[in-house]
Amino acid sequence: MQKSALSRYIGLIPSSVMIGAFFVIPFVLILLTSVSTPTDDGGYATGFDLQHFERFLTWFYIERALFSAGLCALIAVLSLLIAYPFTYFLTTFPPRTQTFWLIYILAQLSLSEVLIAFSWQILLSRTAGVANILVWFGVIEKSFAMTPSAGAVVAALVYLTVPFSVLLLFPALSRLDKSLIEASRTLGASPLRTFFTVIIPVTRPAIISGGVTVFVLTLGAIIVPQVLGKPEHWTLSVLITDQAIFNFNMPFASALAVVLLVLSATVIWLVTKFSGKKA
């Protein structure tokens, strides 16, 4: 028994080292940088100065944080609304067809955020975008650019996150007990009522985990809001990049990064807590 417990602890060592090396240590360095003291030569020294967090407490940055959270929540909802029905119907197809579509979806994940952002920029441009198709069909009289806009940011981020949602939902929906659906239909429930009263409640944990994953994934998106949106559509991640790379203000960028991590952890904690109570 002791040997079995020891072997389990030994098995945790590699993952613990990886987590410590690539998460804990960088986070500690970011945290130390966020409370560092500015020097006269424009640099910063180790200390305990909360002025960078006090700067965040201005309305501009609070509004950016709220906007980022709202945008990520919207993307999570839209992504699940698209991915859930698609994944459910995918599980009704033969295994060979499922494999084909899953390979296709996995191929979408090979596209980087940079490629997706610039592809959507071309797709929504005035010269080579979908507006020209609308002109050709006579829907509009003159082509126009659809970027930069909030709609372009939302569309590209939904496109980016739908494959993740499908892959997260597929295991739960593929293992769904079909007898529950048959029992619901036998009792007189319509297919639509069965979908909302049986299928969705049974797969609720997968829906919650998928929504949280998409939320966190979108929270770290940088290129899409920057390329397809206006400055008022920039998320907190874009502002972190702007402060670190263009303004060379690493302490303030680190403070924003800490705030972003706290925001992400808070959302995960709240969802876990309240979903656990309802389970």
pLDDT at 51: 85
pLDDT at 161: 93
How many whole angstroms separate alpha carbon 100 and alpha carbon 86?
14
Residue spans of the domains in the chain: they are 61-278
**Looking at residues 228-247, what average pLDDT do you find?**
87
Secondary structure (H, E, C), 246-269: HCCCHHHHHHHHHHHHHHHHHHHH
Judge whether residue 2 has pLDDT over 60: no
In DSSP notation, the chain reads -HHHHHHHHHHHHHHHHHHIIIIIHHHHHHHHHHTPEE-TTS-EESS---HHHHHHTSHHHHHHHHHHHHHHHHHHHHHHHHHHHHHHHHTTS-HHHHHHHHHHHHHHHTS-HHHHHHHHHHHTSTTTSHHHHHHHTTS-SS-----SSHHHHHHHHHHHHHHHHHHHHHHHHHT--HHHHHHHHHTT--HHHHIIIIIHHHTHHHHHHHHHHHHHHHHT--HHHHHHS-GGG--HHHHHHIIIIIS--HHHHHHHHHHHHHHHHHHHHHHHHHHHHH-
* Structure-model confidence comparison of residues 25 and 63, the more confident one: 63
Q: Decide which of 1.10.275.10, 1.10.3720.10, 3.10.20.30, 3.40.50.720 is the CATH code for 61-278.
A: 1.10.3720.10
8 A C-beta contact, residue 258 and residue 26: no
How many whole angstroms separate alpha carbon 97 and alpha carbon 84?
17
Q: What tens digit of pLDDT does each residue of 65-100 get?
A: 899 999 999 999 999 999 999 998 898 888 898 899
Q: How far is CA 149 from CA 111, 145, 185, 262, in A?
A: 22, 9, 45, 28
Judge whether residue 279 has pLDDT over 50: no
Band (153; pLDDT cuts 50, 70, 90): very high
How many whole angstroms separate alpha carbon 12 and alpha carbon 41?
45
* Structure-model confidence comparison of residues 127 and 279, the more confident one: 127
Instruction: Write down the mean pLDDT value for the chain.
Output: 84
**Looking at residues 101-122, what average pLDDT do you find?**
87
Q: Which two tokens stand for residue 213?
A: 């994953």
Band (5; pLDDT cuts 50, 70, 90): low
pLDDT at 6: 67
**Looking at residues 124-139, what average pLDDT do you find?**
80
pLDDT at 242: 87
Judge whether residue 178 has pLDDT over 90: no
